A = this chain, B = another copy of it.
Amino acid sequence: MIKPLSDHVVLETVKEEKKKGSIILPETVEKERSEIGKVVAVGQGKLDDNGKRVPIDVKKGDTVFYRKYSEHKIKDGDREYIVIKGEDILAVK
């Protein structure tokens, strides 16, 4: 199992279902979009100046929206995951 460090969060990629009749957005609009992922593991949180952990407000199984381009890819055997920082999570679905 992969254990994220400090304020990192490990995610699985979530593919958005394409709705019938949905409009294909041109590339320039796509760029402003955020990404969606499913939380696999959550770090203990960064250490603050008093030596206490700053909790990250998501838990395993949450579907989260995160800032595009903030991600790192890691690979465990055949499976590929995304690692982001807690602060790059915008919202929980």
- A interface vs B, CB < 8 Å? 2-6, 8, 10, 16, 19, 32-34, 41, 44, 47-52, 54-55, 57-58, 65, 67-68, 71-76, 78, 83, 87, 89-93
B78 touches A90 (CB 8 A): no
Indicate how many identical chains form the complex. Answer: 7
Instruction: Return chain B residues, CB-CB under 8 Å to A72.
Output: 32-34, 65, 67-68, 90
B33 touches A73 (CB 8 A): yes
The docked-state distance in angstroms from the alpha carbon of A93 to that of B67 is 24
Q: A6-B87, A83-B90, A90-B4 are in contact. Are A32 and B78 (CB under 8 A)?
A: no
A10 touches B76 (CB 8 A): no
